[in-house]
Each structure stands twice: as structure tokens, then as C-alpha cells.
Structure 1
Amino acid sequence: MTDLAAWLAAFADEQRRPDEVARWAASTADAILVDGEVDLADLRPLLLKAVEEHWYAFLDRITVPDAEFELVPSARTIALEAARRHLGLPLLLKVYQRAQEESWDFAVQVVRQAPRDLDHEALLVWFWTKATTWFGSSVEQSVLIHQTETNRIRQRGDARRFEVVSQALGTRSVSSAELSAALAGHPINIPGHLALVAHALTADSIEQLEASLTAVTRHAGHARSVLVRPGGREMWAWVALGDRPESLTGSMTETGIDPTTVRVTLGVGGSGLDGFVAAHLDAQAAQRVALAPGRHEPVTAYDDVAALVLIAHDPAAAERFARTTLRGLADPPHGRLRETVREVLTSAETADKIAERLAIHKNTIRYRITQAEGLLGHPLRERAGDLLLALDYHDAFLATPTVKTHSFR
């Protein structure tokens, strides 16, 4: 009976013949490129070389079974080239899948032609085990190379994009055309810009930043945005606007963003480079309020908190203003009174209608109004604008942080 090890050694010697290697490489490359689904036709010479190198290395392992696996140089080049062409992993996996299918067909033919006194089943198992291990190791290392190169390219692109955007936001020493090119063609000379800034409250939530920005832009009716990664816990985005929207926030609580992990702020700017910059500066300024201890909203628009942002630039003066304006109403026990005052000042309804809408007795609303006016020392409608601004500042920066329930009962 023919010895399997001796037969394999002879098989390896025969297959190392240049004409056999060339034939095998050509048939495998053709199988990979057969229908054009794998878009590497211009790399056929590299594919041929990779198949040859794989085949020689595989044959060497027949006679040196304990040799460590190492991905052949041409295969490394293919993985790098796929990443540099922005071809995803599925294409790379398809290359190996078709090469493996071709190898299995070849192995079946070899077993059929092997001597009759050779254990065909053992030979088939040998081929299957060795080929599976070989392709598994090749795929594993190729995927790692592809992902590493993809990340390197992305980080290099992110760094360049951030550099140009930083110049635009700072010295404005870049042209609209240069900025647009750095942002993959994002239009700069348009009627309006919407800028978004996403901030992760914890290190673990950094990975949620991109999804949060996508959720906001999609909810606002804009399918596409351009992203910039400044690093740290922030991510920026811009959306091209036609006209200034009536409301930026609307029902943004329905975006699915968890405000305990991520906060998103919005700003709107006018046309051109100035509008691009202004929108971002407003979105960043709104963070002063969005990240305040008493805030729990997932999305905050600058337009909705502009006055609050401005007075918050001087915290000491802002606190004096709030406490002087609210007087006794600022005391901790009067949370329900402050909520009632806000409801009355922001509604066009009468006190009776407000009570009916909130399903509480009208005398309760009237009593609370009387209490509040006693603490303030004047009617609610007197200096109503200052009173609302003071309430906003108090709730965001001075009140004990609690999740607001807006219960008036």
C-alpha cells in the first residue's frame, strides 16, 4: 500500500514545476475574476503572483509540517490595495472564498487520480484540513491588514479634514473651494448651514456620537451630513440648508438619543463661509446650556437658548440677576410654584383654562399665582421677560439637578 507521507512529498515536488504553478495560478485567478463581481481585474498580475506564492508556501508545508504560517507578501499587498481603493471586506472575503472553492475542486481531482492502493479518504481529509487551516489563517491576517490600513486612511483623512475646518473656524484662511474639497464636496456657498455638535457625557458613550448625529439629521428631514472628528468626546457635523427652518428642535425628544450619555446642540448660519462658521459657533455656544446640571434634553438649539447662553458667559452676574429677579421664588421648596409661574407666563390661556388642561382645580392655580406674586413682590406679568429668563437660568444652573416631571398636581 502506498505510503501517504511519501506520496505527498512526491506530489509537492511535482507541483513545484514552474509550468504546473503557472497553470494553477491562472485557473485560480480566472475563477476569482470570472464574472466581474470581484473588481480587481486590473490587478490580475498581482493575483497571479499571490496565488503562486500561496501555492509554493503551501507545498513547503507538506514537507515541513511544523512551519509557522505567515501571509505571503503579494497577499498582504492585495489586502492593502483593497483598503486603499475603499473596497470593503466583503470583496476581500469573496477573493478567498473563490480561491478556496477552486482549491477544493483541484483537491478532489487529485484524490481521484491518486493510486488505488492509497487511502483516498485519508488523503481527502488531509487536503480538507490543511486547506481550511491555510485559508482561515490567510483570511484572518488579510482582514487585520485591511482594517488597519482602512483605519489609518480614515484617521489621516479625519486629521486633514479637522485641520482645514479648524483653519476655517479660526483664522478663516481657507477658501470656500478648499473647505468644500476637504469635506468631500460639501457645498459651502449655499443659502444656509445647520451645524451640530455632539458631546459624549462619558468615555463609553463616544461610540454613540455618530449615530446620534445621524438620528438628529434624519429626524430633521436631512438625509446627508458631513462629519468632522476633532477627537476627545466631541463630533461635529454640518448640513446644507435651503432656508432657515422655523423650528430646529420640534419633537427632537423622539430621536432616541439617551440624554444621560449624549447631548447634541444645533446652530444655524447664513450663506457662504461666514454662515458655515457662525452655525458652528452657535452650536458650540449652546453647549454652555445643554451641559448645565439642570438640563436633561437630548437636543438643544441655540435659537431656543440664545439669551440664556449670553448671560451664562458671566456666571456670577447671571446668578445675581436670577436670584434678584426671583427673590423668594428661588428658594428650594418652591419648585411647583416656579413650574406654575412658567406655565402661566408661556401660555395665552387664562388661569382657569390652564387648570382645566392640567386637570387640577382652578383655585389651586389661583392660589399658587398669589403665593408666587407674594414672593416676587409684584404681579407675574410685570417684567415677565426677565422673570422667564431668570427661571431658565435658575432651572439650568442653580436648582438641585433632578429629572423634571412637569407635575403641577
Structure 2
Amino acid sequence: MSGDYAPGMLGSPDPERLSALTAQIGARLKTDTAAISEGMTAAIEQNMAELDIADMHASLHASVVDNVEVIVDLLAERKDATDLPALPDAHRYAVDLAQQRVPEASLRRAYHVGSNHLLAHIFDQVRRLDCEPQEKLQLYHHLAGWTYQYVDEITRSVIATYQEEQRSSRERAARATEAIVTQVLAGDDVPALQFRAATGYELQQPHLACCVWIDTADPAHPPVALSGVIERLRAALAVPGEALVVSTGRHAADVWFGWSTRRTVDVQAVRPLVDAEGSARIAFGTPDPGADGFRTSLARAHQVATIARVGGTDASRVVSYADDGVPVIARLADDLVDTRHWVRQTLRDLALETDDAARQRETVRVFLKSGSNFSRTASELMLHRNTIRYRLTAAEKQLGRHLTDKPLDTQLALEACRMLGSAVLTAEEPRTAWSPLN
């Protein structure tokens, strides 16, 4: 049991005697609070480089003095360690650290460094007391526990102040960012330096804007943290700088990345992200430079976001205005009733919401996209050429015409089905006798 403490090892202290000795320690420390505070401030700055900030030395020292004077008063007046009065300078320092973005853990550690320094003074005073050695051991144990309680209580209090200031700072920054972004989007002439000062983002550069949101109504995937999705998106796009993020809802944001007009958006590089975060949805605009590009890129992102909002397919979870046919599909998504009717007229039985029709649609889509090349179609779908021929023959029967008839309408309708899914498919089989009025 050497070095371990167990109840009873120090005997049963007399509470009144222990309280009186504690008051003596407090009274003795009162004569030396200025020196204790100076030494504690120096110890914190020497042991924690991130807190050795010239402009904040006075704030740190005021916080230390606040704490030391309260501790000494509590000891001298025989009060509980949790019986804290207001400590305005200690809380002011917590606010200063939050505003300087010094990590929360540093504030917590500062109190432990400070308490170690103070305990050295306390124990020195205990050694000087004229009392029995057993009483000194009991007093050491009591004061160590008392100091731990004080540190636990005060750190919870100042950390709460720190976190509240962080939250308030984020809200103030978000409001300032939203206000100046709104000015730019409205076409106001905002100086680039002013914009950068308010947002930390460079306005006079090429931009790639996107809408990012979490589909909280998706029963198959639980909601994920929007901030985490945006950060992983930045990594997937290999963007070196920070994104500019403006919240548009609890689970939605408009996002801008510094980009290059010579660089295309690789949607395939982003698909693993939306596959892993099943409730995430992303719609990209096009890379465009300057303030005009800042507006244009976002406007195009919003335009194609309709696809991701109404589409129920994997292909619709991440879309880009720059991808072939996507701007047109977005227009079709604006009027689903009319689009569903047009898709049914164009594809006839291929517009059915069945597994068989889906296989046929994909075969025809890939065939037309490949320039009607059987070999490339078979290779992409990993099927035999004869299987491709069989499916295409069956598809022509379902279409009621040759694939070479109305190829553009057919391709566009197939793309609409691929991206919008159930929103434009027909649940019931059309009548065999077909007419435009059906």
C-alpha cells in the first residue's frame, strides 16, 4: 500500500480543528497574494507558450489575481470551495481567449498549472504551522482536495463563458459574412479588401459555388453533420484554401471554393462522399471569376439543385451544371407533371417504373451515348454483344419506333429518367393503342 491513500490512513480529523487550521492558512496567504499572483502568472506563461501573449499579459494577470484573492478569502473564511462569488476578471480572460481563438484546452490547463503553483505556497505554510505532524498530514490532504474542488468548479464556470463567447463570435461572424455576401449577390460594388476582411475569402479570384444540404427526410439514411460534409467535400476536391460558407437553413448552406477556370469539376471524385454520407446532397455551379463569377456560379448551382431535390436516384445526389444535359434536366425538373407526360409520350413502355424497363432504358442510353457502337456498349455494361442486340430489339418494340427515330428526344428523356427517377416514371402500364392524347 506504499504511496496509496485509503480512508482511515490519516486517522479521523477533528472537523473544527481542521477548519481552524485552514483559516490560519488563508490568513497567512493574505499577506502574500501579490507575490503569489505574480509568480503564478509567470508560471503559466513559462509552461504554456500559447498563453505567453504580450497583449494579453494584463488580462491573464488580472484573472490570476481574481482567482488567488477569492481562494484566499474562501480559505480564511472557512467556506466551501464551490461557494464561488463573481470573478469578472477570470471570465473576461476566458472571453479574450475565445476571441483570440486560443484552444479551450489551454484555458483548462492554465488552471491546473496555477493550482500546482498555489499548492506549493499552501503546503509551505502548512509546514510552518505549529501543530502535530498527524494534523499536518490531514491538512495537506484536506487542502489538496479543497483546491481540486475549486479548480473543478471554476473551470466549469469559465469554460462555459469561453464556449458562449465562441458561439456568439461565430454568430457575429456569420451575420457579418451573410450581410456582405448578400450585397455582392445583389450586384453591389463591394471592395475586394472589405470583402476579404469580413469573410477571410478572396473575391477577385475564380469561384466554384455549390449548394450543400442534408436530406433529413430520407428514411434510408440518418442525417449527418453539414460542417463535416463541407470539410470532406473540400478534401475530395483537393481545394487548398478555406471555403466560404453561408448558412441557408439548419441543414443547408451555399459554399464557394477558390478554383481555376481551367479546371473542371470531377463529380465522380465526389460520389464516394455522397455514397458514404447517404443523406448529403450537392449541386455545383460552374467555375467563374470575380464578383460576377461569384454570383453566376451560385445561380447555376441553385438551378441544378432542383434535380437533387426532386430526383430519387443515386445519380441525382451530386450534380454539376457543367455536366452534359444537366441544365436542361434542371428545367424539366421545374415542371414534373408536364415532364412526366412528355417522358411517357417519348419512351412509351420504357417509361414504366419496373426493373425490366430500367434495364432496357440503361441499355438504350449507353448505346446512343456511345454513338450506336455495339462493342463499346457491351464493354461498358459488361454484357455480350448478342445480349445488347436482343435488348435493343426489345426496346424498339417498347418504343414503337426505331432507335434512330427522334434520337435527341430519346436521349434526353432517358437522361431525365436516370436522374429524376420515380418523379418522371409511370407507375401504371400505358395502353397498347397509343396516341398523343393518352
TM-score with structure 2 length normalisation? 0.82
1:129-144 superposed matches below 5 A: 129-144=145-160
2:42 paired residue number? 30
- Larger deviation, residues 257-266 vs 353-362: 353-362
Cα gap change, 1:348 to 1:215, in 2 (>3 Å): farther
- Runs of 4+ with deviation above 6 angstroms: 203-206
2:332 paired residue number? 311
Whole-angstrom distance in 2 between the partners of 1:115 and 1:312: 88
2:386 paired residue number? 363
Corresponding position: 1:302 with 2:302: no
Whole-angstrom distance in 2 between the partners of 1:136 and 1:152: 24
Whole-angstrom distance in 2 between the partners of 1:180 and 1:383: 51
- Larger deviation, residues 49-58 vs 386-395: 49-58
| Aligned length, in residue pairs | 398
Whole-angstrom distance in 2 between the partners of 1:327 and 1:117: 101
1:167 paired residue number? 183
Per the TM alignment, residue 301 of structure 1 is displaced from its structure 2 partner at its CA by 1.1
2:164 paired residue number? 148
Unmatched tracts of structure 2, length 5 or more: 1-12, 426-438
- Larger deviation, residues 335-344 vs 325-334: 325-334
Provide, for residues 192-238 of structure 1, a one-character-per-residue CA deviation record: whole Å limited to 9, x for no partner: 21112111111897662222222222222212222222332212221
- Is contact 2:104–2:162 with CA below 8 Å preserved after alignment? yes
- Is contact 1:290–1:300 with CA below 8 Å preserved after alignment? yes
1:121 paired residue number? 137
Cα gap change, 1:356 to 1:397, in 2 (>3 Å): closer
- Is contact 2:346–2:409 with CA below 8 Å preserved after alignment? yes
2:29 paired residue number? 15
Cα gap change, 1:236 to 1:289, in 2 (>3 Å): same
- Is contact 2:312–2:423 with CA below 8 Å preserved after alignment? yes
Give the aligned CA root-mean-square deviation in angstroms: 2.8
Match for 1:234 among 252, 256, 277?
252
Whole-angstrom distance in 2 between the partners of 1:45 and 1:360: 76
Per the TM alignment, residue 374 of structure 1 is displaced from its structure 2 partner at its CA by 1.8
Residue 164 of structure 2 aligns with an amino acid whose one-letter code is T
Of all paired residues, the percent bearing the same amino acid is: 23
Corresponding position: 1:75 with 2:87: no
Corresponding position: 1:56 with 2:69: yes
Per the TM alignment, residue 379 of structure 1 is displaced from its structure 2 partner at its CA by 2.0
1:87 paired residue number? 102
Per the TM alignment, residue 59 of structure 1 is displaced from its structure 2 partner at its CA by 2.9
TM-score with structure 1 length normalisation? 0.88
Provide, for residues 17-50 of structure 1, a one-character-per-residue CA deviation record: whole Å limited to 9, x for no partner: 3xx1112111111211236712344444443333
Residue 351 of structure 2 aligns with an amino acid whose one-letter code is A
Cα gap change, 1:100 to 1:364, in 2 (>3 Å): same
Provide, for residues 265-296 of structure 1, a one-character-per-residue CA deviation record: whole Å limited to 9, x for no partner: 11114221111111111111121001224222
Whole-angstrom distance in 1 between the partners of 2:208 and 2:177: 18
Per the TM alignment, residue 356 of structure 1 is displaced from its structure 2 partner at its CA by 5.6
Whole-angstrom distance in 1 between the partners of 2:186 and 2:386: 56
Whole-angstrom distance in 2 between the partners of 1:401 and 1:361: 30
Corresponding position: 1:341 with 2:369: no
Per the TM alignment, residue 131 of structure 1 is displaced from its structure 2 partner at its CA by 0.5
- Larger deviation, residues 345-354 vs 193-202: 345-354
Whole-angstrom distance in 2 between the partners of 1:257 and 1:336: 22
Provide, for residues 50-76 of structure 1, a one-character-per-residue CA deviation record: whole Å limited to 9, x for no partner: 333323322333334347234512101
